[in-house]
Structure 1
Amino acid sequence: MSCDIDTAMIMAAGHGTRMRPLTNDIPKALVKVNGKAMVDHAIDRVKAAGISRIVINIHAHADKMRAHLEARNDDSIIISDETDALLETGGGIKKALPLLGDKPILTHNCDSIWIEGMGATLPRLIDAFDPAEMDAMLVLAVTASIVGDVGRGDFTMEADGRIEWREPRSVAPFMYTGVQIIKPQLFADIDEQAFSTTKVWRTLTEQGRAYGLRHDGIWMHVGTPQALDDTEAFLRDL
Structure 2
Amino acid sequence: MTLASITQAVVLAAGLGTRLKPITDTMPKPLVPVAGKPMIDYGLDALADAGVTRTVVNVHHFADRMEAHLAAYPRLEITVSDERAGLMNSGGGLKKGLALLDPGIVYVMNADLFWIGEKSGSPTNLQRLAGYFDPEMMDMALLCVPLDHTTGHNGKKDFQLDADGRLARYVDGERPLVYAGAIVLHSALLDDAPDDAFNLNIYFDKAIEKGRLFGIVMDGEWITVGTPEALPLAEAVIKRHSGKV
- TM-score scaled to structure 1, two decimals? 0.93
Over 3 Å counting, the alpha-carbon distance change for 1:172 and 1:128 in structure 2 is same
Tell me the equivalent position of 2:39: 38
Among candidates 201, 204, 210, match of residue 201 of structure 1: 204
Over 3 Å counting, the alpha-carbon distance change for 1:170 and 1:195 in structure 2 is farther
> Cα distance, 1:101 vs. partner?
2.2
- Once the two structures are superposed, the pairs formed by residues 110-129 of structure 1 within 5 Å of their partners are 110-118=111-119, 119=122, 120-129=124-133
- Once the two structures are superposed, the pairs formed by residues 39-78 of structure 1 within 5 Å of their partners are 39-72=40-73, 76-78=77-79
Over 3 Å counting, the alpha-carbon distance change for 1:83 and 1:160 in structure 2 is same
Please tell me whether residue 225 in structure 1 is matched to residue 228 in structure 2. Answer: yes
What percentage of aligned pairs have identical amino acids? 38
Q: Secondary structure at the match of 1:99?
A: coil
> Cα distance, 1:150 vs. partner?
3.8
1:86-111 CA-partner distances (Å, limit 9, x unpaired): 01110101112321222121011111
- Once the two structures are superposed, the pairs formed by residues 36-185 of structure 1 within 5 Å of their partners are 36-72=37-73, 76-118=77-119, 119=122, 120-167=124-171, 173-185=176-188
Q: Secondary structure at the match of 2:192?
A: coil
Give structure 2 stretches of 5+ with no counterpart.
Answer: none
Q: Do the aligned residues in 1 keep the contact of 2:146 with 2:217 (CA within 8 Å)?
A: yes
Report the AA paired with residue 6 of structure 2.
I
Give structure 1 stretches of 5+ with no counterpart.
Answer: none
1:15-62 CA-partner distances (Å, limit 9, x unpaired): 111111110011101001111111122111111111111111101110
Q: Do the aligned residues in 1 keep the contact of 2:53 with 2:76 (CA within 8 Å)?
A: no
1:57-96 CA-partner distances (Å, limit 9, x unpaired): 1011101111111223666111111111101110101112
- The whole-number CA distance in structure 2 between the counterparts of 1:190 and 1:107 is 16
> Cα distance, 1:141 vs. partner?
0.2
- The whole-number CA distance in structure 2 between the counterparts of 1:187 and 1:172 is 30
Report the AA paired with residue 47 of structure 2.
V
Q: Do the aligned residues in 2 keep the contact of 1:2 with 1:128 (CA within 8 Å)?
A: no
- The whole-number CA distance in structure 1 between the counterparts of 2:128 and 2:107 is 12
Provide the aligned C-alpha RMSD in A. Answer: 2.0
Q: Secondary structure at the match of 2:206?
A: helix
- The whole-number CA distance in structure 2 between the counterparts of 1:8 and 1:91 is 15
More off after superposition, 93-102 vs 125-134: 93-102
Please tell me whether residue 235 in structure 1 is matched to residue 238 in structure 2. Answer: yes
- The whole-number CA distance in structure 2 between the counterparts of 1:136 and 1:187 is 11
- The whole-number CA distance in structure 2 between the counterparts of 1:142 and 1:21 is 30
- The whole-number CA distance in structure 1 between the counterparts of 2:163 and 2:76 is 41
Q: Do the aligned residues in 2 keep the contact of 1:12 with 1:56 (CA within 8 Å)?
A: yes
Among candidates 180, 193, 200, match of residue 190 of structure 1: 193
After the TM superposition, which segments of 4 or more aligned residues of structure 1 sit over 6 Å from their partners?
Answer: 169-172
